[in-house]
Amino acid sequence: MDIVINFSSGLCLFIGSFLCVSGGIGILRFPDFYTRMHAVGVTGTLGAAMILIGLMLHSTDLLVFAKLVMILLLTLLLSPTTSHVLAKAALHNGLMPKLSQNTLEQSSLDLKSKETASSKF
């Protein structure tokens, strides 16, 4: 039983740290803001969740466990919200995604219509 718990917590921690590092590389290497946000958003949520679950498996105290669950819930609630708000604010203030040259003119039209659509929310 002990071995199973140790192994699974190690696995969770490993996946989590891998995701965190890959998110870090993503925020550095991706070409523009929206793709970077994708890197941070995806890996931030799942990576944080994995690490926290790994820690939960380690914890012996019920209070510690409860606090970890609380942090997990907070992360899962807040991180997507922040990403959503950030993307919307960037789009509203006219930051265009970087696209390949061919699709640019078409996409800028698309974006304008999207902007008017998103202001209704």
Partner 1 sequence: MIDIVLLTLLLVVAIAIIRMKDLFAVIMLSGIYGLLSASFFVAMDAVDVAFTEAAVGAGISTLLMLVVITMTGRSENTTRHKPFPALLLVVITGGLLIYGTLDMPYFGSADAPVHSHVAPRYINDSMQEIGIPNIVTSILASYRAFDTFGELVVIFTAGVGVLALLSIVRRPIKGDKIAAVNDSMHEQHLVIRIVTKILLPFILLFALYVQFHGDFGPGGGFQAGVIFAAAIILYAMLFGLSTARIVINQAFIQLIAATGVLLYGCVGLVSLLNGGNFFDYNFLSNDAIAGQHLGILLIEWAVGCTVASVMIIIFFNFADYRERQLSNENQHNQESP
Partner 2 sequence: MLVAATLAIFVAMILAIIRGISGPTFYDRILAVNMFGTKTVLLISLLGFVMGRPEFLDIAIVYALINFISVIAVLRYSDTNQFKHTPGAEPCNRKSTEKEP
The whole-angstrom separation of Cα 64 and Cα 108 is 50
The whole-angstrom separation of Cα 48 and Cα 115 is 31
Identify which of residues 13 and 87 has a Cβ nearer to partner 1 in the complex. Answer: 87
Contact footprint for partner 1 (CB under 8 A): 77-78, 81, 84-85, 88, 92, 119-121
Identify which of residues 21 and 114 has a Cβ nearer to partner 2 in the complex. Answer: 21
The whole-angstrom separation of Cα 111 and Cα 114 is 5
Interface with partner 2 (CB under 8 A), residue from 18, 114, 115, 118: 18
Q: Counting contacts by CB under 8 A, is residue 98 touching partner 2?
A: yes
